[in-house]
Amino acid sequence: MSYATLADRCREISQLDHAIAMLSWDEAVMMPRGGGSARADAMAALAKLEHRLVTSPDTEALLDAAKTETLDEWQSANVRQIERRFRRAAALPERLVAERSRATVLTEQTWRDARARNDWQAVSAPLEGVLDLTREVADRLAAVRNLAPYDALVDGYESGLSTAVIDPLFARLRATLPALIDRRLGAQCEPLPLGGPFSLDAQERLSRDLMERIGFDFEHGRFDVSHHPFCGGVPDDTRITTRYDVEDLFSALMATMHESGHAMYQQGLPSAWRDQPVGDAAGAAVHESQSLSIEMQVCRSRPFLEFATPFIRRAFAIDDSNPAWAIDNVERVCQRVARSLIRVDADELTYPLHIVLRYDMERALLERRLAVADIPEVWDVSMHELLGMRTRDDYRNGCMQDVHWFAGLIGYFPCYTVGAVMAAQLFAALRRELPDVDDRVRHGDFAPLRAWLRTNVHGNGAKHVGLDLIRVATGAPLGADAYLDHLHARYGNSEV
Amino acid sequence: MSYATLADRCREISQLDHAIAMLSWDEAVMMPRGGGSARADAMAALAKLEHRLVTSPDTEALLDAAKTETLDEWQSANVRQIERRFRRAAALPERLVAERSRATVLTEQTWRDARARNDWQAVSAPLEGVLDLTREVADRLAAVRNLAPYDALVDGYESGLSTAVIDPLFARLRATLPALIDRRLGAQCEPLPLGGPFSLDAQERLSRDLMERIGFDFEHGRFDVSHHPFCGGVPDDTRITTRYDVEDLFSALMATMHESGHAMYQQGLPSAWRDQPVGDAAGAAVHESQSLSIEMQVCRSRPFLEFATPFIRRAFAIDDSNPAWAIDNVERVCQRVARSLIRVDADELTYPLHIVLRYDMERALLERRLAVADIPEVWDVSMHELLGMRTRDDYRNGCMQDVHWFAGLIGYFPCYTVGAVMAAQLFAALRRELPDVDDRVRHGDFAPLRAWLRTNVHGNGAKHVGLDLIRVATGAPLGADAYLDHLHARYGNSEV
């Protein structure tokens, strides 16, 4: 009875989630600029209404009663997820939820324009406001969850993830990667340029074709263009975006496959639990593990490139004898390592250092050890230290490149690299169980791969979350070994 | 105090309206088919939440108290509109609101597919369901408004409009139009064909150019393609659609200008009252009067065609000496009368008879004098009687052509023709006050026209509604004289 009442309410809450997800997608992909303020108001009102439903006064009693009822494994996990959401929401007053929604939507809009103008001044005051609201959220969550404020934010993105897990992991990467990068940079051959231009229409057709082959369901999804690629929407209507570069075919294509990994996760969530918390994705790090599984473990691998290259050649009428399109050269392009300023364009090997930089800085920002005014300088110094590059006054390619802080997403960044670590561990397990997976991929047969991910990750929903999910799926606790093995296998070879 | 409390609540309700408007637009323009069921659930939940807010238990007391406070003219009108919305919503249980929202969204989706297959069987059962729910709504509204059920529905679209106003108006049209149509058909010259094909890209560029010139604000709006042209969104983010025919330039262009008229109304609503009921459009008939003002009074007039034809010639590289593109021939094309099956493609003169047919049938449907199973036959007989054409088993071009009944919009159809009547009366008043308006239009100067509509209609919001608005704006009660004068002037000339 109590469980059923909670489940009914969750159904209503999930409809508000649907509306919020679609309005967010629309804001990034469709909305005219002049609609921004009205949209921010609408999003704030929906956030407030949702908060009111999640924190309904009888929830605590219903949760207590539900725990005494006879529930199956999924229902029990659902109660756990309902309680988690309730505790986090109840820690925050409605006023704070609405203010934060409005401030982050508006600051993101400001950032979008200001970044194009390289205008740090225009965003620093709004960022202060978002940070203050985020600190208040973190402090309130920390108090009820008995965690440090930064951990309370991280835990919101991936249940159970914390600095205690991240710190040793990142310390190991910090200790290992610079030497590996140096060695690779000294050893790798510069690939032949792939030519171009690559017409946008043909790029789009090719992307749609490969998306469909790997498992994106267009009956339940869309594919559009936005400033920055992302995956949004809901499981029955999953929407991904990309952005094209007429000179760089693989930039859009790999971004598309990355988002397709997110989309396949979302579309593969358990359909019987669509409108319940246990039917949601396990968390942000697990989500990133799925996009990185598709992009890094599959699509940048030699077997996939052997499968895809003939399609690409056909799509752009490239001659079979063109040496730039020989498989060895295509692989070099897709696995090329280079120190660079922009995280989203970074290769697999340097990427974690971009995250380490942000992780250190956002903790310091939240804990008031770093002032907003000092962000550009600290960014510049850290980039130099970690990747040997300077950004100075190039804010656009420095501290203004990512939307996260402006959108209030403090605590999200570590999920990217934890996701990469998870992906490697999941794929090591998958390869043990499906020894012929590379052969299948080489022939364009993604069904076994998809089935494994469906069984062990997608279809699990939030029955197991975070580190638990990885332990159940791989039989071992989360660790960096598989990840470092993968990086060494792909990039450690001295002759490439 | 009480007024302020009501106004705050209206602000929250208007945010839900924003979400519902955007999700409806998305459903028609963007959503993949597989997203339909989840979307219907989300729309139903939002309708339910909105209903809950509108009918909050303290509303009645707040309304009573607000009426004793000192309010200005706008605030008083706002209270009137809040009360109207409250009374109508309070008449309906939440269960009925959600069920009806879900049933109409799903039936509309079913209709969209079934119409393409000419499959009447597939829609007749869902239509029964929608009709039952609509009858329940009408009966409940009728009881609290002290109106006949059909009048209670019409009043929901345009406050104060009723069969008592419509019947004599439509009787006059029924008595006048057939002879006028016969005379015109006997007298009009067949225009030279305009050639083509007209590339869709160029059609879109031309449409955007003319939309902007006439007054559509792209900073606060979008222009897309959908199955059926419509205007949606919110005042700060107004979204219109069209559909192109590569062989028929004016089909898309006039539909676009029609929707631009709706859009200019929406974008011109009083910005100080954005989130209050008095800031909404006055009603559906007044809304149609604005689209028809732009399409029929302005864009199909000779002065506008004199202005636009050179742009069109340029857009499609048409030679100045091409006789089909001489202004007399273009005017003949845009004012051509023909008996036809499809309402939305009908010319200005035959259009009202399409409405008369639907008006009679939907009243009979609601009042159970007509069974769903008999719709195809009655449609066929009525079309023959009114327009001399038969539809028989061609449901697609007969009783399945319009979405309205499937979407539960019973009582809306008369608003189209009442809107045409209003438009003619408004333009007669406008011409008296702006005697040089035709000259201005001929030179592409739409500013005085726009300013007049802004002052007398758009900026009024819902301060005056329905018949009151027309009386205030034109100085006379609504009547058919200006409309018939307009039709006689444009189509009654025996030599064209």
pLDDT digits (tens, 9 = 90+) for B228-279: 899 999 999 999 999 999 999 999 999 999 999 999 999 999 999 999 999 9
Q: How confident is the model at residue B64 (pLDDT cuts 50, 70, 90)?
A: very high
pLDDT digits (tens, 9 = 90+) for A349-369: 999 999 999 999 999 999 999
Average predicted confidence (pLDDT) for chain B = 96
Taking an 8 Å cut-off on Cβ atoms, the answer to whether A219 and B34 are in contact is yes
Q: What is the ipTM of this complex?
A: 0.92
Kindly compute the dihedral angle of the four CA atoms of residues B80, B84, B86, B89, in this order, to the nearest 10 degrees: -170
The chain B residue lying nearest A224, using CA atoms, is B30
User: Which pLDDT score, from 0 to 100, does residue A1 have?
Assistant: 84
The chain A residue lying nearest B12, using CA atoms, is A45
Taking an 8 Å cut-off on Cβ atoms, the answer to whether A38 and B217 are in contact is no
Among residues of chain A, what percentage have pLDDT more than 90? 97
Site of tokens 């890094």 = A296
Average predicted confidence (pLDDT) for chain A = 96
Residues 6+ apart with CB under 8 A from A369: A363
Q: What is the CATH number of domain A146-496?
A: 1.10.1370.30
Of all helices (H) and strands (E), which one includes residue A239?
strand A237-242
Terminal-residue alpha carbon distance, chain A: 63
**Does the pLDDT at position A345 exceed 80?**
yes
- B26 vs A contacts (CB less than 8 Å): 22, 26
Q: What is the mean pLDDT of residues A10-33?
A: 96
Q: How confident is the model at residue B1 (pLDDT cuts 50, 70, 90)?
A: confident
Taking an 8 Å cut-off on Cβ atoms, the answer to whether A15 and B275 are in contact is no
Terminal-residue alpha carbon distance, chain B: 63
User: Which pLDDT score, from 0 to 100, does residue A349 have?
Assistant: 98
User: Which pLDDT score, from 0 to 100, does residue B496 have?
Assistant: 44
The chain A residue lying nearest B41, using CA atoms, is A15
Say how far apart CA A358 and CA A364 lie, in whole Å: 10
Q: What is the mean pLDDT of residues B326-343?
A: 96
B370 at the A interface (CB within 8 A)?
no
- A12 vs B contacts (CB less than 8 Å): 45, 48-49
Do the Cβ atoms of A156 and A414 come closer than 8 Å?
no
- Which one has a higher pLDDT value, A262 or A1? A262
Q: What is the mean pLDDT of residues A384-410?
A: 95
Say how far apart CA B263 and CA B279 lie, in whole Å: 15
A21 at the B interface (CB within 8 A)?
no
The single residue of B259, B288, B331, B362 carrying the catalytic annotation is B259
Q: Each residue of A455-483: b (16+ CB within 10 Å) or e?
A: ebbbbbbbbbbbbbbbeebbeeebbbebb
- B232 vs A contacts (CB less than 8 Å): none
**Does the pLDDT at position A495 exceed 50?**
no
**Does the pLDDT at position A493 exceed 80?**
no
Cis peptide before A197 (omega within 30 of 0): yes
**Does the pLDDT at position A490 exceed 50?**
yes
Do the Cβ atoms of B113 and B123 come closer than 8 Å?
no
pLDDT digits (tens, 9 = 90+) for B407-422: 999 999 999 999 999 9
User: Which pLDDT score, from 0 to 100, does residue A373 have?
Assistant: 97
Taking an 8 Å cut-off on Cβ atoms, the answer to whether A41 and B18 are in contact is yes
pLDDT digits (tens, 9 = 90+) for B304-314: 999 999 999 99
Cis peptide before B197 (omega within 30 of 0): yes
Q: Each residue of B337-350: b (16+ CB within 10 Å) or e?
A: bebebebebbbbbb
Residues 6+ apart with CB under 8 A from A102: A40, A41, A43, A44
- In this structure, the strands spanning A221-225 and A237-242 are parallel
Q: What is the DSSP letter of A418?
A: H
CB count within 10 Å of CB B82 equals: 24
User: Which pLDDT score, from 0 to 100, does residue B470 have?
Assistant: 97
Q: What is the mean pLDDT of residues A226-243?
A: 95
Q: How confident is the model at residue A496 (pLDDT cuts 50, 70, 90)?
A: very low
Active-site residue flag, A259: yes
The domain segmentation of chain A, as residue ranges, is 2-145, 146-496
Taking an 8 Å cut-off on Cβ atoms, the answer to whether B42 and A18 are in contact is yes
**Does the pLDDT at position B385 exceed 60?**
yes
B71 at the A interface (CB within 8 A)?
no
The chain A residue lying nearest B237, using CA atoms, is A35
Q: CB-CB: which of A22, A23, A218 is closest to B32? A: A218
User: Which pLDDT score, from 0 to 100, does residue A15 have?
Assistant: 96
Among residues of chain B, what percentage have pLDDT more than 90? 97
pLDDT digits (tens, 9 = 90+) for A191-228: 999 998 999 999 999 999 999 999 999 999 999 999 88
pLDDT digits (tens, 9 = 90+) for A153-197: 999 999 999 999 999 999 999 999 999 999 999 999 999 999 989
Site of tokens 């007399």 = B328
- A32 vs B contacts (CB less than 8 Å): 218-222, 237
B15 at the A interface (CB within 8 A)?
yes
A35 at the B interface (CB within 8 A)?
yes
pTM reported for the whole predicted model: 0.93
Q: What is the mean pLDDT of residues A373-380?
A: 97
Say how far apart CA A141 and CA A283 lie, in whole Å: 17
Instruction: Provide the 3-class DSSP secondary structure of residue A288.
Output: helix
Q: What is the mean pLDDT of residues B115-126?
A: 96
User: Which pLDDT score, from 0 to 100, does residue A145 have?
Assistant: 87
User: Which pLDDT score, from 0 to 100, does residue B493 have?
Assistant: 72
Distance from CA of A485 to the nearest CA of B (A): 41
Q: How confident is the model at residue B227 (pLDDT cuts 50, 70, 90)?
A: confident
